[in-house]
Amino acid sequence: MIDPVEKSIFVPLPPARAFALFTEHMADWWPLDTHSISANRDGTNPHTVTFEPHLGGRVLETNSDGEIRAWATITDWQPGVRFVLSWYVGRTEDQATVVDVRFEPEADGTRLLLTHSGFDVLGDKGLQNRTGYDGGWTGVLESAFLKHCAHLGDAA
């Protein structure tokens, strides 16, 4: 079994606001120029990325030509607390891994806990993908989401 990727960051916002920023305003902070299907396939930036905010909803990338590509399906949806994704960005749904993101109250903010598991489904590429996501989630969470949250916290 391939170990999951586990990340933990503190953000200076209450859980409900951090959750909303992550899901409702993903296009404002997600590094689409490096972490998107469009960027990886043809070197272009997508137009946007959005969450369909409900159980069974999807995370969708809309490219500059209007084509919509699914990244994930929401398998657990608890606004302000947690969401879980069947994560198949750039792959077919039968090759989905699991991304579990929790927003726990902590003094003066929120502890965001991300666990990305299920890499065994990818067979021989599982360990390589796990290694890539370990660094990728660090960049997404620390270089993008945390900076955006800190900026908003400073402005409050």
**pLDDT tens digits for 33-57?**
887 777 667 767 778 899 999 999 9
Q: Using a cut of 0.85, tell me whether the model's pTM lies above it.
A: yes
Question: What pLDDT shows up at residue 40?
Answer: 64
CATH of the domain at 142: 3.30.530.20
pLDDT at 155 exceeding the cut of 70: no
Question: What pLDDT shows up at residue 156?
Answer: 47
Where does 2-155 have alpha helices with state H? Answer: 15-24, 26-29, 37-42, 126-138, 147-155
Mean pLDDT (whole number) for 65-94: 95
**pLDDT tens digits for 85-127?**
999 998 999 999 999 999 999 999 999 999 999 999 999 999 9
Q: How many domains does the chain have?
A: 1
pLDDT at 151 exceeding the cut of 80: no
For 78, the 3-state DSSP assignment is strand
- Element containing residue 63 per DSSP (H, E): none
Mean pLDDT (whole number) for 52-67: 93
Look at residues 141, 151, 51 and name the one whose alpha carbon lies nearest to residue 103: 141
Question: What pLDDT shows up at residue 43?
Answer: 67
The domain containing residue 12 runs over which residues? 5-155
Q: How many CB atoms lie within 10 A of CB 106?
A: 14
